[in-house]
């Protein structure tokens, strides 16, 4: 179990670029994913991380006809929709489209009717999902994710972000066409694949977006190109064969053929679910006070993404759609390797987006402590108007860097909570002076000021 919780992550750049040397542990030794990665890496000079994220997303689209059943602690099964939202993050010239385009061509060979037009409308996309040939299984591809970010800002009655979030839940999905008529899609599996430069991402987002319903659902695949290939060597015949393979595994269009058995489910047993849960508890839940509150909101979605990723690794070893696929230890281990890297990218990109907001919070807390020696956590929270986890995280940083210190104070009529801490700036007041202030305040029936 411990081996699963330890990352063997290779070198990163700026703590959020996942370079080629760090991708090996996320690629199986054999099977569909290994074959595709070998082909794509030799055909283009795009980073391997882009190839992996793009292919897993398109492969997930083709698997949308299967059911993912995640076994809970009570041994009952929770049905998780198979869809993956991915954004490739990299500077201009880092070959974002070089990673996305081969995977998109493979998907078009497997399930071309499920590729939504990039410049379509919500109504048109909904109607395409409702088409029996599509069956509610589709992928929305945008070369530039910034357009989706702009369209997904709040304060619209029915904007693109709301529509995407509705689709994410898996259906049923209805669109009113007349006063009493609807076009209904009973089962929706809509994936998303796009690219964006990091500077545009920072300009188009703010810390509040990380706590919204939209951005935390996205896997951010950030990397940088490390080599140059003079001429791409894409092979349409090879890509067509990859399309045929994922079509056979996913069962694309099988519901329209009475002679073809329905696609088998993907089963994630309770023991494998617990391995993933243990990692989330160790790497996210127990460290929540180390993260900004809004960043933690995004990290809380990693477990949900892990279910889908583990299912993809397991399904990649199947040979046809009729077989029942079971998630094994090795699939969860590779999933956790991917989650480690996605988590590092979340942390790095959040720091890129929110330095000013973080700095304002830090300065505000320090100023209050300096002007109110002896102030407690509860009093600070009332003045700063931040959540308790966020306040604890700032205070721990200040204590570790010796910017502030604290005294343990006893219970009294003004602070009726055991274990209260009185914070102060050691550069402006000594512990002895603070003790005298507190004692004088108690004897004079007032708080120290």
Residues 376, 340, single domain; the answer is no
Q: Report the range of poorest mean pLDDT among 8-12, 32-36, 280-284, 362-366.
A: 8-12
Look up the CATH number of the domain holding residue 256: 3.40.50
Residues 366, 347, single domain; the answer is no
Residues 313, 432, single domain; the answer is no
Residues 332, 394, single domain; the answer is no
Cβ pair 60, 82 in contact under 8 A: yes
Domain boundary among 324, 353, 382: 353
pLDDT exceeds 60 at position 444: no
**pLDDT tens per residue, range 364-413:** 888 889 888 888 888 888 888 777 877 888 888 888 888 888 888 765 54
Task: Tell whether 98 is covered by a domain.
Answer: yes
Look up the CATH number of the domain holding residue 400: 1.10.10.10
Residues 361, 347, single domain; the answer is no
Mean pLDDT of 43-52: 94
Domain boundary among 300, 318, 353: 353
Mean pLDDT of 18-45: 93
How far does CA 379 lie from the centroid of its chain?
Answer: 34
Q: What percent of the chain has pLDDT over 70?
A: 86
Domain boundary among 302, 322, 353: 353
pLDDT at 5: 35
Task: Tell whether 449 is covered by a domain.
Answer: no
Q: Report the range of poorest mean pLDDT among 1-15, 184-198, 214-228, 314-328.
A: 1-15
Cβ pair 282, 5 in contact under 8 A: yes
Residues 256, 368, single domain; the answer is no
Cα distance from N-terminal residue to C-terminal residue, the chain: 52
Task: Tell whether 223 is covered by a domain.
Answer: yes
Q: Where are the beta strands (DSSP E) in 48-165?
A: 68-71, 77-80, 85-89, 115-116, 137-142
pLDDT at 398: 86
pLDDT band at 254 (very low <50, low <70, confident <90, very high): low
For residue 189, give its domain range.
Answer: 2-353
Residues 111, 35, single domain; the answer is yes
pLDDT band at 356 (very low <50, low <70, confident <90, very high): low
Q: What percent of the chain has pLDDT over 90?
A: 40
Task: Tell whether 448 is covered by a domain.
Answer: no
**pLDDT tens per residue, range 420-429:** 788 888 888 8
Show Cβ contacts of residue 126 under 8 Å, excluding neighbours closer than 6 positions: 163, 173, 175, 183, 185
Residues 286, 377, single domain; the answer is no
Instruction: Report the relative pairing of strands 68-71 and 77-80 from DSSP bridges.
Output: antiparallel
pLDDT exceeds 80 at position 200: yes
Task: Tell whether 257 is covered by a domain.
Answer: yes
Residues 22, 70, single domain; the answer is yes
Instruction: Report the relative pairing of strands 85-89 and 173-176 from DSSP bridges.
Output: unpaired
What is the per-residue burial (b if ≥16 Cβ within 10 Å, else e) of 180-210? eeeeebebbbbbbbbbbbbebbbebbebebb
pLDDT band at 1 (very low <50, low <70, confident <90, very high): very low
Task: Tell whether 110 is covered by a domain.
Answer: yes
The total number of structural domains that make up the chain: 2
């Amino acid at each position: 179990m411990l081996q699963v919780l330890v990352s063997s992550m290779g070198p990163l750049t700026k703590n959020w670029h996942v370079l080629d040397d760090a991708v090996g542990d996320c690629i199986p030794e054999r099977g569909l994913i290994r074959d595709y990665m070998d082909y794509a890496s030799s055909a283009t000079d795009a980073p391997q991380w882009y190839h992996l994220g793009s292919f897993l997303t398109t492969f997930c689209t083709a698997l949308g006809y299967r059911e993912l059943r995640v076994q809970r602690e009570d041994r009952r099964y929770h049905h998780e929709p198979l869809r993956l939202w991915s954004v490739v993050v990299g500077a201009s010239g880092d070959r974002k489209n070089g990673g996305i385009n081969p995977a998109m061509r493979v998907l078009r060979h497997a399930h071309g009717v499920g590729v939504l037009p990039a410049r379509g409308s919500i109504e048109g996309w909904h109607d395409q999902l409702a088409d029996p040939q599509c069956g509610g299984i589709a992928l929305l591809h945008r070369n530039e994710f910034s357009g989706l970010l702009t369209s997904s800002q709040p304060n619209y009655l029915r904007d693109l972000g709301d529509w995407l979030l509705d689709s994410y839940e898996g259906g049923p999905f209805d669109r009113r066409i007349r006063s009493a008529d609807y076009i209904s899609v009973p089962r929706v599996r809509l994936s998303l694949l796009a690219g964006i430069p990091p500077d545009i991402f920072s300009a188009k987002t703010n810390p509040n977006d990380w706590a919204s319903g939209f951005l935390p659902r996205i896997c951010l695949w950030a990397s940088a190109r490390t080599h140059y290939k003079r001429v791409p060597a894409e092979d349409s015949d090879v890509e067509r064969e990859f399309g045929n393979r994922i079509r056979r595994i996913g069962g694309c269009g099988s519901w329209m053929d009475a002679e073809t058995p329905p696609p088998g489910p993907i089963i994630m047993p309770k023991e494998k679910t617990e391995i993933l849960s243990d990692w989330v508890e160790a790497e996210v839940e127990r460290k929540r006070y180390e993260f900004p509150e809004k960043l933690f909101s995004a990290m809380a979605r990693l477990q949900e993404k892990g279910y889908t990723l583990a299912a993809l690794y397991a399904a990649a070893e199947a040979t046809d759609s009729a077989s029942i696929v079971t998630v094994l230890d090795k699939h969860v281990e590779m999933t956790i390797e991917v989650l480690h890297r996605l988590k590092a990218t979340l942390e790095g990109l959040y720091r890129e987006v929110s330095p000013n907001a973080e700095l304002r919070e830090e300065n505000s807390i320090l100023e209050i402590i300096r002007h109110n020696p002896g102030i407690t956590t509860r009093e600070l929270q009332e003045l700063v108007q931040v959540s308790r986890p966020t306040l604890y995280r700032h205070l721990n940083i200040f204590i570790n860097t010796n910017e502030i210190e604290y005294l343990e104070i006893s219970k009294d009529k003004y602070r009726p909570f055991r274990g209260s801490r009185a914070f102060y700036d050691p550069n402006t007041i000594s512990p002895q002076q603070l003790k005298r202030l507190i004692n004088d305040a108690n004897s004079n029936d007032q708080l120290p000021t």
